[in-house]
């Protein structure tokens, strides 16, 4: 799905006419710097809202629409970016997201928008009632209908008055998974089904493992006893305390906990926005607060195996706090929403759930213990957490959406592929920053899960994955490719930008990255590549961005940070060309 209109993907559109992918662009040069930024103030938001209305030809904002701020950033060099969600005559617009860009002086510098058409309806009065729409949604997927909201669906290239119904469970759904079913509010036709929980393991992968008769069973260490932790009295309670835990996947690790009495501790980290892990106790809980807190009297947690329910909690807590540290230390992002709130996790979710999820409904991580058929252990590996929490960051920013979802729950389309790819990219980034001795950093995903091919996906040569069929290069089939398979295009581009092509050994792992055209690529280093991709995600991408939009977005990000004439800018262009994403083969806008 193409991010269209005034700004397609990454290139800032000047206040001039143009079509998606070919809009006249203005590339701003800036002093080198990181992507760290500040949240924009009310004056910046007002200026951006005024600019969106004044430049309606670029932004697509009509006189009957209102804008609600979702996110706002001020770059170190002074540029401002305000991300809006829209409502038409008071009805929320799905697929109407846009970002307004301002220069350092507050002047209009362009816009990025998801829907390229003008939102317009004859009426916002539905023919169906909420109850009728909920019944149709529940019947469509054989699930249980929950929240029902009247919306304008702008995702299909036209505007349709519809109901968006949240449905739990049903046909082909993972236990506890949520879906949004869109029902035409006039005709009653089911228009789309979209997953609301991002699962690490796709239905396609589970089907493949079942067909092969394979069960992922990682080799794990023996039981361990955590080191003795201090438990002296604090001046006041609650207080920060230093404990440690024996995990399933990352060895014995330090944990910052909360001391509530002389010999009473909770697995909650006050120093990281109250990041906390609780147990769902085998239930499919709807909210984090319904989970039971992990407490003890010693501040030593777990025994290193799944026989102790606390061991999985050690992995989860170490993972969520490490991810918090990664985003804050690398990008200056203070929490998943950049609001200072630490990540939260529920382990032991559901009965025999072989998956891990990011759930925007509870704004938390959900970890199953394995289903015994495809996965035997709790899915609490470090890169699983980094990947899934990055889905939370994406949800708070570009919010990439799949083009379609099949009856088995598999997602398709380039925006969905970018969703998986960016989660892989920053999930591996977190692993590198954490540098855990028991889980050495690498460009592989899921290497701890016990799969026969010894990883789930990899960034250097994605096609080595034979389970999901991940691809190395872009082709026209990417528009309707399953999202995990399609994620290889941008993941490969990132690896080439960071490390370059060809054979090399990084740490304890060997890589050999090819290119589409056979030409070599020289990397600029992982640190610079991460800054460029993060800035592209948080400033220049929207829910419908495709791979060519991602190319433009990362080029703009490189220009922001390093300058349009820099070696880094040229390296970004070269990395995308090496995966067959170029200006020359940019397709016509698809919406």
Residues recognised as catalytic: 388, 484
* 155, β-bridge pairs: none
Rounded CA-CA distance 553/426 in Å is: 17
Interacting residues of 141 by C-beta distance below 8 A, sequence separation 6+: 167, 170, 171, 172, 173, 179, 181, 193
d(CA 580, CA 475): 7
CA distances from 411 to 231, 415, 418 (A): 49, 10, 12
Distances in whole angstroms, Cα of residue 551 to Cα of each of 57, 62, 567: 24, 29, 16
Of the candidates 17, 63, 75, 31, the one whose C-alpha atom is nearest the C-alpha of residue 540 is: 75
**Residue 138 DSSP symbol:** H
Q: Crossing angle for the helix pair 526-540 and 547-562, nearest 10 degrees?
A: 110
Do the Cβ atoms of 386 and 427 come closer than 8 Å?
Answer: yes
As a whole number of angstroms, the distance between CA 589 and CA 122 comes to 26
Q: Residue 352: which residues within 8 A CB-CB, separation 6 or more? A: 175, 368, 369, 370, 371, 372
**Integer distance in angstroms from the first to the last C-alpha of the chain?**
7
Tell me how long the chain is: 591
Sign of the Cα torsion 284, 290, 296, 301 reads: positive
Q: Report the distance separating Cα 479 and Cα 1, nearest Å.
A: 7
Q: CA-to-CA distance for 573 and 582, rounded, in angstroms?
A: 8
State both tokens at 330: 């690398």
Q: Going by DSSP bridges, is the β-strand pair 457-458/160-168 parallel, antiparallel, or unpaired?
A: unpaired
């Amino acid at each position: 799905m193409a991010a269209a209109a005034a700004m397609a993907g990454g290139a800032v559109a000047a206040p001039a006419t143009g079509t998606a992918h070919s809009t006249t662009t203005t590339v701003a040069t800036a002093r080198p710097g990181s992507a760290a930024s500040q949240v924009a103030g009310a004056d910046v938001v007002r200026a951006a809202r005024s600019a969106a209305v004044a430049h309606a030809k670029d932004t697509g904002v009509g006189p009957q629409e209102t804008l609600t701020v979702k996110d706002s950033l001020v770059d170190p060099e002074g540029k401002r970016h305000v991300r809006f969600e829209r409502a038409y005559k008071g009805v929320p617009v799905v697929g109407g997201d846009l970002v307004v860009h301002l220069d350092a002086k507050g002047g209009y510098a362009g816009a990025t928008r998801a829907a390229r058409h003008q939102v317009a309806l004859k009426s916002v009065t539905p023919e169906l009632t909420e109850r009728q729409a909920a019944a149709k949604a529940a019947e469509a997927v054989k699930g249980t209908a929950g929240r029902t909201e009247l919306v304008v669906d702008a995702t299909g290239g036209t505007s349709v008055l519809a109901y968006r119904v949240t449905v739990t469970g049903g046909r082909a759904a993972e236990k506890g998974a949520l879906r949004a079913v869109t029902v035409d509010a006039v005709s009653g036709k089911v228009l789309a089904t979209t997953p609301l929980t991002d699962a690490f393991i796709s239905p396609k992968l589970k089907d493949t493992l079942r067909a092969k008769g394979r069960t992922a069973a990682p080799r794990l260490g023996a039981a361990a006893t955590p080191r003795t932790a201090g438990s002296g009295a604090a001046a006041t309670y609650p207080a920060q305390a230093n404990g440690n835990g024996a995990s399933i996947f990352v060895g014995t690790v330090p944990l910052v906990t909360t001391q509530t009495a002389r010999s009473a501790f909770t697995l909650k980290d006050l120093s990281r926005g109250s990041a906390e892990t609780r147990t769902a106790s085998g239930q499919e809980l709807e909210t984090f607060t319904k989970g039971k807190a992990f407490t003890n009297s010693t501040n030593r947690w777990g025994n290193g195996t799944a026989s102790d329910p606390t061991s999985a909690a050690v992995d989860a807590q170490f993972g969520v706090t490490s991810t918090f540290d990664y985003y804050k230390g690398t990008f200056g992002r203070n929490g998943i929403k950049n609001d200072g709130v630490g990540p939260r996790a529920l382990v032991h979710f559901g009965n025999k759930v072989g998956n891990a999820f990011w759930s925007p409904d509870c704004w938390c991580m959900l970890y199953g213990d394995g289903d015994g058929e495809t996965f035997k252990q709790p899915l609490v590996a470090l890169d699983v957490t980094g990947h899934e929490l990055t889905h939370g960051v994406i949800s708070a920013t570009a919010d990439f959406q799949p083009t379609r979802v099949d009856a088995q729950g598999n997602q398709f389309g380039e925006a969905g592929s970018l969703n998986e790819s960016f989660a892989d990219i920053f999930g591996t980034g977190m692993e590198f920053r954490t540098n855990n001795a028991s889980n050495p950093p690498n460009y592989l995903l899921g290497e701890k899960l016990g799969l026969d091919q010894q990883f789930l996906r990899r960034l250097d040569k994605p096609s080595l994955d034979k389970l999901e069929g991940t691809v190395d290069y872009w082709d026209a089939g990417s528009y309707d490719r399953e999202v995990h398979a399609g994620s290889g295009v941008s993941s490969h581009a990132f690896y080439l930008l960071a490390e370059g092509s060809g054979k090399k050994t990084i740490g304890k792992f060997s890589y050999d990255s090819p290119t589409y055209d056979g030409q070599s690529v020289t990397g600029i280093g992982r640190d610079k590549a991460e800054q460029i991709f993060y800035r592209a995600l948080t400033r220049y991408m929207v829910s419908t961005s495709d791979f060519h939009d991602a190319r433009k977005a990362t080029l703009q990000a490189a220009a922001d940070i390093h300058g349009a004439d820099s070696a880094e800018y040229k390296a970004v262009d070269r990395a995308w060309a090496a995966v067959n994403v170029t200006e020359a083969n940019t397709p016509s806008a698809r919406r």
